[in-house]
Amino acid sequence: MLLEIDSLKLLYGRIEALHGISLHVDEGEIVALIGANGAGKTTTMKAISGLHAISGGSIKFEGTDVSRLRADLRVIRGIGQSPEGRGVFPGMTVLENLEMGAYTRRDKAEITKDLAMVFDLFPRLHERRKQAGGTLSGGEQQMLAVGRALMTRPKLLLLDEPSMGLAPKLIQQIFEIITRINEQGTTILLVEQNAQQALSRAHRGYVLETGRIVKEGTGQELLHDPAVKEAYLGVA
Amino acid sequence: MTALRERWHSASSAIGRRVDGLPKSARITGLLAFIAFLYVLPNKWFYEYLNIPGLWIPLYTTRNDMAAVLFYCAWIVLLSLGLNVVVGYAGLLDLGFFGFFAVGAYTVALLTSPESKLITQYNWLESPWPWLVTVPIAIALALLSGVLLGAPTLRLRGDYLAIVTLGFAEMIRIIAKNQDWIFNGDRGIPQVGHPPGKYADGTAIFQFEFKPYYWLLLTVIIIAVFLIRNLANSRVGRAWVAIREDEDAAELMGVPTFRFKLWAFAIGAAVGGLSGSLWAGQANFVNSSTFSLENSILVLAAVLLGGAGSIGGAILGGFLVIYIPEWLRSVGDVFGLPETATVFGNDFDVSPTSLRYFIFGILLIIVMIFRPQGLWPNRRRAAELKDRQKEVAVVE
């Protein structure tokens, strides 16, 4: 198991946002975490990447407990995240943003190779490589955020709402790229409101409701589950 | 107004492009010529001829000693360079920068003055130490206080940090004012040591004349610029940019954000301490009134006026916040402006001398409206500002 989360609890001030979540991600998988607004999806991501401290439970990565580790050290271990709302560096150019992704790495030759790989996945970023991150369109920023996370060369890639605010055609495109990244060997944990796309691409999925996991199964199982259909897929 | 703004923008960026386009040798020659100009500037035989005949605005108006004005300019420039690392590079709003300046100034004063209570009352020191020896101690203590203040507070973000640093500077000032047992309260510490050095005829270089101090400060500034520039272009500098632009994202790139924020804070504090020790060496007298909040704000204004995140901006801003009020002080003489105006039988003082801070304030407001990124902005900072404006527009 690459990632193993056991009864994870997290407090926002005095309010408990996660009431003991357990989930796991195996190597090579795409796992989707779906749920409504405020269910705790982004919070779970922040707990895994270390942007928010947890109050109970454990997060194991490659068998060792990382739940007390600083966020920047988790990046070095191999947890890369593309944050919600994209979070690209607005004043840096596209290229500088991507180079920032390789901040902890010293292997120049490999960095160049990964840069070529990212430009291959997102030709658009290559066209815009000298443009400031803040001047990109929403879709391009999303690509940049994913590309930048890839530059950390993660073993586990956390994608927080990669389809947020994108046009339907772009959503299709970004999910195709996610599948490609996975086929090239990166394990992915994906948080999505677009449950249809996420579940049809994922090997397995979890349904999160108000800080609890209420359902789990393979992507196809969840996709055809009547309760999931009604709540998240907009089908009666 | 927008048309004017556009024109100003395109004109200023055209100048920037033209300078960038020059060959390296030309740029270096220009820079060296400018530095040489700065070194000869405080000489009367030189600056008196700066008023180019026919030019509408005279560059030099001051009734004061030009060397004194330049010394104060250089002093604020050095402080702006230090604060620019904190505010401009790392994006930490520090409102108490003068606290570190005070730490530096008091350290030098206590160790070099024969009137220091460390000598007269407590016998901790046998005789005053030479100024030069105390400078590294002053820098180290300022750096240490930066780390001590930063370690618990840099986990705070934005406004909270501003309030804590504001409190820190006030604390230092009030301690200096009230702790009579060592700091002598408002009476202060006199006879602070001067920097070493003698002319060929045996008289000391550094006494009460401003010129040598200005040259000393200018030299320190050139060294500081060189060091800060190298730092800004290194991995440390890139980490600062990332933290400033998006702290969470920086952490997700593997940047140890807290450590780099502390670094910026400590470097800023050290420059503040250095500036304090240089200032104490010139002023010969230190008391708490120099460390008022206005001065912290003045340095912050210098950084923002010049353009946060740019070394050239910090220098320009630091120069202008001192030079403009000093220039206004005697501009009335040059143009023969009236000193008072009578309105409904009451006399009002309208001389530029009395109104100089009012006029300066208006100038600052105008600059901030037309050029919120500062006069000589950093390319990135300008883009960030645009990005933020876009966000605000979306929210509206």
For residue B350, pLDDT over 90 is answered with: no
According to the model, what pLDDT value does residue B395 have? 45
Cα–Cα distance between B390 and B304 in angstroms, integer?
Answer: 20
pLDDT of amino acid A49: 94
Res. A236 pLDDT band, cuts 50 70 90: very low
DSSP letters for B195-219 = P--B-TTS-BSSSS-SHHHHHHHHH
Tokens 């500088």 sit on residue:
A96
CB atoms under 10 Å from CB of A19, counted, come to: 15
Query: What distance in Å separates the CA atoms of residue A189 and residue A29, rounded to the nearest whole number?
Result: 8
Q: Which residue among B249, B256, B384 places its CB closest to the CB of A134?
A: B384
The dihedral built from the CA positions of residue B182, B188, B191 and B194, taken in this order, carries a sign that is positive
Q: Above 90 in pLDDT, residue A100?
A: yes
**Which of A192, A122, A83, A104 lies closest to B246, judged by CA?**
A83
What is the value of pTM for the model shown?
Answer: 0.86
Q: Where are the domains of chain A?
A: 3-232
**Facing A134 at nearest CB: one of B235, B257, B387:** B387
pLDDT of B332: 72
- Of all residues in chain A, the one with the smallest CA distance to B384 is A91
* Strand order from edge to edge, sheet including A79-82: A79-82, A156-160, A187-192, A30-35, A204-209, A212-218
Tell me which range, B41-55, B112-126, B142-156, B340-354, is most confidently predicted by mean pLDDT: B142-156
Rounded (5°) CA angle B10-B15-B19: 145
Q: From residue B158, give the alpha-carbon distance in Å to each of A230, A231, B40, B63, B182.
A: 43, 39, 42, 42, 35
Counting DSSP H helices and E strands in chain B, the numbers are 18, 2
Distance CA A140, CA B331 (A): 54
User: Taking a C-beta distance cutoff of 8 angstroms, is the pair B291, B172 a contact?
Assistant: yes
Tell me what pLDDT residue B11 has. Answer: 58
B253-262 pLDDT, tens digit each: 999 999 999 9
Query: pLDDT tier at B20 (50, 70, 90 boundaries)?
Result: low
**For residue B123, pLDDT beyond 70:** yes
Q: Distance from A46 to chain B by nearest Cα, in Å?
A: 10
Mean pLDDT of B326-336: 76
Bridge partners for A56 per DSSP = A9
Q: What is the DSSP letter of A190?
A: E
**Cα separation of B309 and B319, whole Å?**
16
The beta strands (E) that lie in A165-234 are given as: 187-192, 204-209, 212-218
**Can you tell me the distance from the alpha carbon of B341 to that of B359, in angstroms, rounded to the nearest whole number?**
17
Domain A3-232 = CATH 2.40.160.40: no
> Which residues on chain A are in Cβ contact (under 8 Å) with B395?
none
> In the numeric block, which tokens belong to residue B340?
């008072």
| Cβ pair B383:A132 closer than 8 A | yes
Q: Is the pLDDT of residue A48 over 50?
A: yes
CA-to-CA distance for B191 and B281, rounded, in angstroms?
A: 9
pLDDT digit string (tens) for B149-176? 988 888 877 678 888 888 888 888 888 8
Write out the E strands in chain B: 340-343, 346-349
Q: Which residues of B160-184 are buried (b: 16+ CB within 10 A; e: fewer)?
A: ebbebbbebbbebbeebbeeeebbb
Q: Are B303 and B276 contacting, i.e. CB atoms less than 8 angstroms apart? A: no
Q: Measure the CA–CA gap between B93 and B291, rounded to whole angstroms.
A: 18
Residue B281's pLDDT is what? Answer: 87
- Which chain A residues are closer than 8 Å to B373 by Cβ? none
Question: Where is average pLDDT lowest: A175-179, A208-212, B61-65, B114-118?
Answer: B61-65
Q: What's the Cα-to-Cα distance from B78 to each of A46, A47, B32, B287, rounded to whole Å?
A: 41, 43, 19, 21
The answer to whether the CB of B112 falls within 8 A of the CB of B276 is no
Contact A52, A43 (CB under 8 A): yes
- Picking from A81, A91, A135, the nearest residue to B252 by CB comes out as A81
Interface residues on B facing A, Cβ-Cβ cutoff 8 A? 235, 238-239, 241-242, 245-246, 248-257, 379-384, 386-388, 390
Q: Given this model, what pLDDT does residue B178 score?
A: 85
AA identity, residue B319: F
pLDDT at A139 over 60: yes
Tokens matching residue B260: 């780099």
| H or E element that contains A61 | strand A56-61
Instruction: Tell me if residue A162 falls in helix, strand or coil.
Output: coil
Asked if residue B1 has pLDDT above 80, the reply is no
* pLDDT beyond 50 at B396: no
- In percent, how much of chain B has pLDDT > 70? 88
